[in-house]
Amino acid sequence: MDELDHVEFLPEPDDYRIVSAIDPAAVGFQGAWRAEVTGWAPLEAAPIQRRRHRQRLLTNSLIFSILVVVLLSVWNSGILWVELSLPDSKWANEQAQLDEAAAQGLTGEGVRVCMVDTGIDLTHDALSSVEVTFKDLREGSNTPIDYGLIAHGTLMAGILVAQNHQPGAAPGITLGVVAALGEDRNGENSGEESVVADSIRWCQDTFQADIISLSLGGEQNLDAQREGATASATRRAVDAGIFVVAAAGNDGGPDDDGLVSVPANIGRVITVGAAGQGNSIWSNSSLGSQILEDGSQRQDPHKKPEVVAPGVGIISTGSGNAWFSSSGTSDATVFVTAALALLLEAHPEYKPQPDGNGACIDAVKVALMNSVSPLHDAGIHDDRSGYGHLQAMNWIEEVTRTAPTC
């Protein structure tokens, strides 16, 4: 039909036999965003199991036989058992100086952090006493739930606020969680762009977040005529002075398209790549481009990505009351969110203000640029490692020392 000649047809993610007619000129349209959400490597996550070791005794006499009977009786009673210690990734807090900030008594108290993710499972022992403001924009649940593969949102939340084994890096924050993503038919975590955009607006308008943490993202579409809904919602937040921390993406390597994910491409967003133990850059951490859509160059301190943080083999809370190991820029994003929460606790004057215009974000990002541990000369940006490795205490001290105005 002639009236449909100008539209494009986009398969529905839950049933590819159904297509939606989309007007490419409509505000909010951005092809490919619904098809892929990046920021985590779920196939790398593996459960860490508790095991019991039985004593094996050789018997060659009556005495040994009696001893074995006694030991077996005790074993069957459940009294005698050995539990191996679970692995942890406390090295990450040390490497990023989050442990130094914690030693100064900083917990993120008074700072409002909103995570847009797959939700959260508060039945995990390490999260059972955590208070969360929960909003489900995926299916409308009134109680906290996690729709993700291996409870992705729960794993991210644990990096912030877990209360045992692997303690969270900012346990004193006021936490809001929006369920916007979930496991799809391809075994990945994905979601509708419009739902993610609505979630970001909920974080800003209803929860009144100081920081919005986005361990997610979509592919950039350089052919799009208009900015997508998620990018627009993010730009609205940062231009009002609300900090947004977002994953650079996990498409590093020979097939890297040279672009960070959306909305990590937005200028005032703090875009995060992933590093391993010893500050090595994770091979799958996405490259950033310093050329904007209009052909102009990005300027300091907004070159992409801005920083890298621990994101390889991170141990945190997952599904089934278990602990999982995960690698990705999702994890790294949360460590930067934690450091920023500690900074805003120490310097509440940089929190978003009712008449904020984003200038305080610029000032804090200059301090970030000047406080990292660089891989190259100080102040020199690299397309994969950004300005350098997150150093939380240095970042806080840089703001204290320079007292930037905004």
For position 282, which CATH number holds? 3.40.50.200
Q: Are residues 80 and 208 in the same domain?
A: no
CA distance 127 to 295: 46
Locate 112 and state its tokens. Answer: 């409002």
* pLDDT at residue 7, as a whole number: 44
Phi, psi of 115 (to 5 degrees): -105, 130
Q: Are residues 286 and 318 in the same domain?
A: yes
Locate 335 and state its tokens. Answer: 């460590």
Q: Are residues 74 and 111 in the same domain?
A: no
Q: 19-23, 175-179, 207-211, 228-232: lowest mean pLDDT where? A: 19-23
CB 173 within 8 A of CB 341: yes
Element (H, E) at 402: helix 392-402
Full residue range of the structural domain in which residue 233 is found: 12-46+86-402
Residue 256 placed within a domain:
yes
Locate 334 and state its tokens. Answer: 């949360």
* pLDDT at residue 377, as a whole number: 74
Taking residue 67's Cβ as centre, other Cβ atoms within 10 Å add up to 13
Could you give the C-alpha distances from 403 to 54, 289, 351, 363, 400, in angstroms and in order?
60, 30, 14, 9, 5
Our answer to whether residue 330 is catalytic in this structure is: yes
Please tell me which residue, 264 or 57, carries the higher pLDDT value: 264
Section 23-27 average pLDDT: 37
Model confidence band, residue 182 (pLDDT cutoffs 50, 70, 90): very high
Separation of CA 346 from chain center:
22
Side-chain half-sphere exposure of 255, counting CA atoms within 13 A: 4
Model confidence band, residue 293 (pLDDT cutoffs 50, 70, 90): confident
CA distance 308 to 288: 12
Our answer to whether residue 302 is catalytic in this structure is: no
* pLDDT at residue 221, as a whole number: 76
Q: Are residues 305 and 163 in the same domain?
A: yes
Q: What is the pTM of this model?
A: 0.82
pLDDT tens for each residue of 304-348:
999 999 999 999 999 989 999 999 999 999 999 999 999 999 999
Instruction: Evaluate the omega torsion of the peptide bond into residue 87 and state whether it is cis, within 30 degrees of 0.
Output: no
CA distance 384 to 404: 27
CB 357 within 8 A of CB 239: yes
85-99, 110-124, 207-221 — most confident range = 110-124
3-state secondary structure 98-144: HHHHHHCCCCCCCCEEEEEECECCCCCCCCCCCCEEEEECCCCCCCC
Q: Taking the C-alpha atoms of 324, 325, 326 and 327 in order, what is their torsion angle to the nearest 10 degrees?
A: 180
One-letter amino acid at 307 equals: V
CA distance 240 to 258: 29
Could you give the C-alpha distances from 296 to 59, 291, 379, in angstroms and in order?
80, 6, 20
pLDDT tens for each residue of 189-217:
888 999 999 999 999 999 999 999 999 99
CB 132 within 8 A of CB 122: yes
Section 261-282 average pLDDT: 95
Three-state SS at 223: coil
Residue of 232, 261, 316, 330 marked catalytic: 330
* pLDDT at residue 232, as a whole number: 95
Per cent of the chain over pLDDT 70 is 78
Residue of 121, 146, 152, 382 marked catalytic: 152
Locate 131 and state its tokens. Answer: 């208070």
Model confidence band, residue 85 (pLDDT cutoffs 50, 70, 90): low
CA distance 134 to 326: 24
One-letter amino acid at 111 equals: V
Residue 144 placed within a domain:
yes
Locate 246 and state its tokens. Answer: 């977002």
Residue of 89, 117, 251, 325 marked catalytic: 117
Residue 1 placed within a domain:
no
CB 362 within 8 A of CB 406: yes
Burial group, residue 146, by CB count within 10 angstroms (0-12, 13-18, 19+): buried
Q: Are residues 40 and 65 in the same domain?
A: no
* pLDDT at residue 225, as a whole number: 66
Our answer to whether residue 5 is catalytic in this structure is: no
Residue 4 placed within a domain:
no
* pLDDT at residue 73, as a whole number: 42
Residue 37 placed within a domain:
yes
Three-state SS at 44: helix
Per cent of the chain over pLDDT 90 is 65
Q: Are residues 391 and 299 in the same domain?
A: yes
Quote the mean pLDDT of the chain. 83
